[in-house]
Amino acid sequence: MKNKVLYISDLDGTLLMSNRELSNYSKETLNKLMDKGVNFSVATARSLATAVKIIEDLNIKVPVVLMNGVVIYDIAERKYVKLETIPTEAVKEIIDITKKHNITGFMYAICNNEQITYYEDLCTKYLKNFHDERVLKYGKPFEKVSSFHDKACDNNIIYFSFMDLHEKLYLMFEELKKNPEIEVVLYKDVYNENVWFLEIHSKYASKYNSVKFLREQLGYDKVIGFGDNLNDLPLLRACDEFYAVANAVDELKEKANGVIDDNNSDGVAKYIFKREWNW
């Protein structure tokens, strides 16, 4: 009996080209494969609003992993299958530490099956660019608040995202990672080498745990993953096989089973096609 296999790919820097879009070749090839019965999904740092817009032309039937594993979303059913909130006391501490370091960003919540993104001030060009692109390109809803503390007790906070220069985020990163209730990730933006992202979520939320959940719930015998950046290391650990695109960071390439064509050469779609088309 043929093994039930899931292919799961990161988006930015992996499945998407450098213009942040899917190529026509990848769309057509992946849809052809899925129509033939291949199981395919994505695991991304992006939220629902932006990820679904990008992959709307793909006929994905498997739930997708969003926000580095904070939520799992069923596109067909239009509902969250699983989500991990940050404990209220941890939320308050995160906000206090960001105030101490004079850094602000975005705070995400899920209310009535809808995502809300809060912000205090678009005080840097990085925050403004992030906000404006998502509003104009994806129609993502944002809500301005005077302070994140105003929403800290809502028991539905799932994620924080900050973006700035490495030296501005690093000290805050070192302080935040002492909290055992949260996972803190600091990594370089794949589109702007001067910008770094600092992202915070529940310690139980990860691409690793999300892939484990999909494997157990949907009965996959094997999971094969694809990625490019340090935030894909948990995905790598969850997979039976993992392939880094040629443009991936060296640390990921060293740990991967192999290296495939880069993100601008349809590496993921070509690999799956080559492996599956003539079964």
- pLDDT (tens digit per residue) in 81-111: 999 999 999 999 999 999 999 999 999 999 8
C-beta separation of 235 from 211 below 8 A: yes
User: 199: helix, coil or strand?
Assistant: strand
* Residue 172, burial from CB neighbour count under 10 angstroms (0-12, 13-18, 19+): buried
Tell which residue, 32, 25, 75, 69, has the closest CA to residue 53: 75
Task: Provide the pLDDT for residue 278.
Answer: 64
Query: Which residues are bridge partners to 83 per DSSP?
Result: 71
5-83+206-276 belongs to which CATH class?
alpha beta
* Residue 167, burial from CB neighbour count under 10 angstroms (0-12, 13-18, 19+): exposed
> What Rg, from alpha-carbon coordinates, does the chain have?
18
Token duo for residue 74:
């069923």
C-beta separation of 85 from 155 below 8 A: yes
What letter represents residue 162's amino acid? F
pTM score, whole prediction: 0.84
Task: Provide the pLDDT for residue 131.
Answer: 92
Which alpha helices (H) appear in 101-242, and where do they start and end? 125-138, 166-176, 207-218, 233-238
Tell which residue, 168, 210, 200, 217, has the closest CA to residue 65: 210
Please identify every stretch of the chain with a pLDDT value under 50, giving residue numbers as ranges: none
- CATH topology classification for 88-202: 3.30.1240
CA atoms within 13 A on the CB side of 132: 8
Dihedral (CA of 132, 136, 141, 145) sign: positive
Domains in the chain: boundaries? 5-83+206-276, 88-202
| N-term to C-term CA, the chain | 13
Token duo for residue 133:
């692109």
C-beta separation of 228 from 190 below 8 A: yes
